Structure 1
Amino acid sequence: MKKKLALMLTILLLVNAAITTPNLANTSPKGKEVALSKQLRAISKQTYRYFEDFTDNETGLTADAVRWNDGMMNIQSHTSPTNIGMYMMSVVSAEELGFINHRQALNNLQKTIHTLENMDTWNGLYYNWYYTEDATLMTDWGQFISTVDNGWLSAGLIVAGQAYPELYEKTNAIVEDMDYTSLYDSEVGQMRGGYDVEAGSLTAHHYGAFYTEPRLASYISIGKGDVPKEHWWKMYRTMPESWDWQSQLPQGHMATYDGVDVFEGHYSYNGEKYVPSWGGSMFEALMPSLVLKEKELGTRALGLNNQRHVDLQINYAEEQGYPAWGMSPAATPDGYSEFAATPLGMDGYKSDGTVTPHATFLALEYAPMKAFQNIQTLKSLNVYGKYGFHDSVNVETGEVTKAYLALDQGMTMAAIANFLEDGILRDYFHEDEIGKTPEDLLIKEEFSID
């Protein structure tokens, strides 16, 4: 029954797309570029309205999410370190794209930075949840220090400090105080998932999988000098061949970098080799490239692998008969869940027809014209609203999740700014010594996927 519904939906979409989508078949490359640019600017302007309307005017903290249930709006008035970092990058992006002026951007960022200077922290690292109204700790959900979330806050501060030199002294001081040493396990050579302040204990698990979103926190930790360079090589490209629980038994070879032996393993899908993420989602694969020059510097490793993941996500969606592509964790009508192109993960997340628009924008720099077409398809599914794209749609049932998430809005803003302004956020990040110092880690590695 689901397959029949999906087929009917695809036919309707193709008919609708034939009517509403600009005909680019006979358009020059320059004309296609202009059409895409115009679309992206309009989308980013709508997307930024979320931050204008749901960021507290006093604290400069953005609501985690806004949902509509039975026509009633529910603002989730708490925020996370990742949300704060993505808000700062969105403000920088908004000025770069011409939606706000320098004075407005500076004023917005100063509020947020002033709040950060006065928030409760642990070893300079920020807790998972704070109330947006007064920046106090939200203790209902525990008192957890997340490695990955702090990495994104550090990234936002670094970008803001380079984009606005008048802020640098304060942003740099906050980042320097964020002590990642306290989350590093020197015996294993990997970062812990985090620290439970209430329980007084580090998590039992480590961030062992390399090709996931925590690699940014690892990069920043190395750039700061909090952890040694060898940490980069101690993460698993695939899990060892002997770990037979993983979705595929990897192929590959051993290589040595900076005196550390690394198993350069890969999986294969439809004849293409790739280094898997944990779950197979787009944001695990591509979110770090919002600030890391993986495409520019990691031409034989991370940049090449990013391209493979985009191509394979698109192929996977076509195989499933989905009219649109882009699988990544997203809001659902019942809450939030993880979605992926399942074969791309070591322990792949589910795929049930749920597509999230932020995945398309993350893929812009790797498949711009396919992204443009996907945007048109998503619009024809009635996913577009007052604040840009709603967070997800199930392309088998047509059900749209009427929600916006600060994280996903921020990824969309940053991805569009990078695409239209030649990697501007990455440039800012790598202008800082923290971003510049470990660049050789990106350059020297060669994945076994050629």
Structure 2
Amino acid sequence: MTGSTDGPARPSERRRATGRHPRTRSVVRGLLGAGLAALLVVPAGTAAWAGGGPGGNGQGGGHGDALTRAQERTLLRYADDTWASMAAMADEQTGLVADQIDADLGTPSAYTSPTNIGGYLWSAVVARDLGVISKKEARDRIGTTLETLSELERHEPSGMFYNWYAPETGEKLTTWPDSGDVVHPFLSTVDNGWLAASLRVVADAEPKLRKQADALYDSMDFGWFHDTEAADGAGLNRGGFWVDQPGDTCTVPGNYGDDDDAPEVLYTCHWYDTTVSEARIATYLGIANGQIPAKAYYGTLRTMPDEGCDFGWQEQKPEGVTREYSGVSVFEGTYEYADMRLVPSWGGSMFEALMPDLFVPEAEWGPRSWGVNHPATVAAQEFHGLEEADYGYWGFSPASDPFGGYREYGVEGLGISSDGYASDEPATDVDRGYDGCREATNPEPDYGEGVVTPHASFLALPYDADGALDNLAGIETDLGAYGDGGFLDAVSTDSGTAAERYLSLDQSMIMAAIGNALDDDALKDYFVDRSFEKTVRPLVAAQVFGSTMPR
């Protein structure tokens, strides 16, 4: 495969460009000295969304005003409680964290995924850096997890991990623990991306474990997921693959690896083909490692094309211009929302847009793309919750359903899918039509009971810290969605019905966001080395979205 001329970064090259060490800032040490029991709480209240938008100046990119001491103390309290739920989900013998645990922090679930494991690893680093746990405890926890990872069953030709394991034993799951239903072992592109991201963090954050983390990271070949023929030759990542046929599921046989003698696998029939997606983390890693061609960064779609009515099923008619990057023609489509324009995600959720931004300094590197789109996404979510739907709260992302099960929450009008992720119960389908192709069926909906997901507010911290912390304070004190393990996974805004559980993925996003907010983007420093920046930053810097903040 073609890729970066520098090739993959070797373990000896993995050093942060800033050279800052140790991680913990004096302000964090000072907060710890104040004692966790005496930490202040930001007063409850709901921020009013205003035309200036997140960041204060409407320009996007970078952090807003500095946190106050009271805000820092509140975030540290949140980190301490959130870590308690992560620790309760982690098996002491294997170091594998469960997918979820009930609010009483009693019995964790009997299954976990690569993303969950990765989230636990970076959460342990954050907990150490903020003084929530000792350096020795963090090293012991991370070391146990790395040792187990080295022993887990994997797809050997690619080095990729299967999607479900038993936390207590590390065995690959072939039956679902709760129901006994058959599990067809799958290897997910995005889940392996998040685990690999955590290994990069660990390798830089914990020098005594660098060799183990690097060995695991270097064995993972993201080229196995990448279809170089997709998107007119720009290339796209498949959703993943199976080794054996998964029942009646649609599959595509093939072998994208660089070993022609390796057995074929069965790929998903879909690609990750949208730009604003959490799956872009795998593309970043593959390009940085020289396993995916650099031009693949431009292979994804901002919106579906504006080509007659062929794509008239999408949420709204996009506007934009066509540009060329590295020989790849890109339609820079945007949607209009709340007096701004932005590149939408598939479902309109916060984590699709902002989870990769926890590790890759997208807003800094892409001032003409992510530097506007990220704060615009936050402003749009605020507008929806506070003005359009009038819930009094905001922050919508996939999470536990307070009324049972799991739901993909989002701002439906911000998603490409015309029946995207709703923000309420029951789900409201917003349909404002598509000019000349689809008549509007529900252009001015009456929304039901809103459901907010606290991790979405934490993801917004870099772009509206005051608004996010005010929102979280209300969720904690007015809605009561807080327990011994931090914020409960989701809560309804009318009845205050909360999902009485913690999901390790969502808790790990909270830990990462707090770590970056209190420790000057520490996780980005751990994740990005010189080779990564040299390879990826020019790709991000070159792109120009049509996004705008409110006028």
Structure-1 residue corresponding to 2:180: none
* 1:177 CA drift (Å): 1.2
Q: CA 1:435/1:161 → structure 2, altered by over 3 Å: closer, same or farther? A: farther
Matched, 1:389 2:389: no
In structure 2, the partner of 1:6 is: none
Match of 1:377 among 456, 474, 482: 474
Report what 2:299 is aligned to.
234
More helix by share: 1
Whether the 8 Å contact between 1:326 and 1:356 is mirrored in structure 2 is yes
Q: Which has the higher contact order (CA 8 A, sep 6+)?
A: 2
Displacement of 1:222 after TM fit? Answer: 0.6
- Structure-2-length-normalised TM-score: 0.75
Gaps of 5+ in 1: 1-18
More divergent stretch after superposition (171-180 vs 204-213): 171-180
CA deviation after TM superposition for structure 1 residue 433, in Å: 3.1
In the TM superposition, residue 72 of structure 1 has moved relative to its aligned partner by 9.8
Identity, in percent, stands at 40
Contact 2:96–2:112 (CA under 8 A) maintained in structure 1: yes
1:54 Cα offset (Å)? 1.9
- Contact kept, 8 Å, 1:162 with 1:432, in 2: the verdict is no
- Residue 195 of structure 2 aligns with which residue? 153
Q: For 1:296-375, list aligned pairs within 5 A.
A: 296-318=364-386, 319-332=388-401, 333-347=403-417, 348-352=420-424, 353-375=450-472
Q: CA separation in 1, counterparts of 2:161 and 2:534?
A: 24
- Contact kept, 8 Å, 1:193 with 1:205, in 2: the verdict is yes
User: Cα RMSD between the aligned structures?
Assistant: 2.0
Q: Distance in 2 between matches of 1:30 and 1:412?
A: 20
Matched letter for residue 83 of structure 2 = Y
Asked if the contact 1:158/1:432 (under 8 Å) is kept, the reply is no
- Cα distance per residue 1:43-64 (max 9 Å; x no partner): 1100001122221111110011
CA distance in 2, matches of 1:30, 1:154: 32
Q: 1:30-109 to 2 correspondence within 5 Å?
A: 33-67=68-102, 73-109=106-142
Q: Offset at 1:376? A: 1.2
Shift of 1:168: 2.0
Q: 1:402 Cα shift?
A: 0.3
d(CA) in 2 for partners of 1:386 and 1:99? 15
Q: CA deviation at 1:74?
A: 4.4
Which TM-score applies when normalising by structure 1? 0.91
CA contact (8 A) 1:209 1:277 kept: yes
Map 1:134-283 to 2 at 5 A: 134-140=169-175, 141-188=183-230, 189-199=235-245, 200-242=265-307, 243-283=311-351
Q: Considering fraction of residues, name the structure with more strand.
A: 1
Structure 2 CA distance for partners of 1:197 and 1:434, relative to 1, 3 Å: farther
Q: Secondary structure at the match of 1:201?
A: strand
**Paired positions, count:** 427
Specify whether residues 144 and 80 from structure 1 end up closer, same or farther in structure 2 by C-alpha distance, changes over 3 A only.
same
1:383-431 CA-partner distances (Å, limit 9, x unpaired): 0100000000011332111010000010000000001111000011112
Offset from partner CA, 1:172-202 (integer Å, 9 cap, x none): 2211211111111111010000102221410
Q: Match of 1:327, as an amino acid?
A: F
Does the 8 Å contact 1:220/1:435 carry over to 2? no
Cα distance in 2 for partners of 1:262, 1:24 equals 39
Letter of the structure 2 residue corresponding to residue 169 of structure 1: K
Q: Can you list the C-alpha shifts for 1:198-246, whole angstroms capped at 9, x where unaligned?
A: 2141000000011010011111111111110111111111111122111
When residues 24 and 330 of structure 1 are mapped into structure 2, their CA distance, relative to the original with a 3 A threshold, is closer
Partner-residue secondary structure (3-state), 2:94: coil
- Greater CA deviation, 277-286 or 73-82? 73-82
Aligned to 2:376, the other structure's residue is in SS state helix
- Indicate whether 1:444 and 2:444 are aligned: no
DSSP-derived class of the 1:265 partner: coil
**2:317 aligned counterpart, secondary structure:** coil
Shift of residue 437, structure 1, vs aligned partner: 2.5
